């Protein structure tokens, strides 16, 4: 497990999955139909329980002011700060590893109670699972 520091808030635009975990892939497919993959942009999966069930959002970093509005997407901000993390190599070959990683992370002490479980896609094969620590 590593600690990562995110120095600046990250504004993302997102598509909410219709359900979790079944709607996750479709949400990412919808997002990438609007915002094709680019090495210049950061992509995320963002989740947490909301009113009971887990709410999942497929997200992309907003690169220009007003970009989300042009695409008719909602936004949220990933807060800067320290995050505990685990990296998963070639995640598509072991999807259950994602849940296992988050189970380890959310069992740690000192988490931000308002934080999210964040998947950052490093590239199309590898990802970082992270959870924000309380400051």
Rounded CA-CA distance 17/90 in Å is 22
Q: What is the mean pLDDT of the chain?
A: 94
Q: What is the pLDDT of residue 92?
A: 87
Mean pLDDT value of segment 14-25? 94
Maximum distance among all Cα pairs of the chain, rounded to whole angstroms: 40
**Complete domains list, the chain, with CATH:** 2-132 (3.20.80.10)
User: In sequence order, what are the beta bridge partners of 129?
Assistant: 86, 119
* Angle (nearest 5°) at CA 43 between 1 and 18: 100
* pTM for this entry: 0.92
């Amino acid at each position: 497990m590593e600690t990562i520091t995110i120095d600046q808030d990250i504004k993302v635009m997102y598509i909410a999955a219709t359900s979790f975990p079944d709607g996750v892939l479709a949400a990412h497919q919808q997002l990438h139909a609007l915002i094709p993959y680019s090495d210049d942009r950061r992509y995320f999966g963002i989740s947490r329980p909301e009113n009971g069930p887990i709410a999942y959002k497929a997200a992309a970093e907003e690169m220009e002011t007003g970009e989300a509005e042009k695409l008719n997407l909602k936004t949220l901000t990933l807060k800067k700060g320290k995050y505990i993390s685990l990296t998963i190599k070639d995640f598509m070959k072991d999807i259950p590893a994602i849940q296992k990683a988050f189970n380890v992370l959310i069992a740690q002490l000192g988490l931000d109670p308002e934080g999210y479980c964040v998947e950052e896609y490093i590239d199309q094969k590898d990802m970082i699972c992270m959870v924000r620590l309380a400051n």
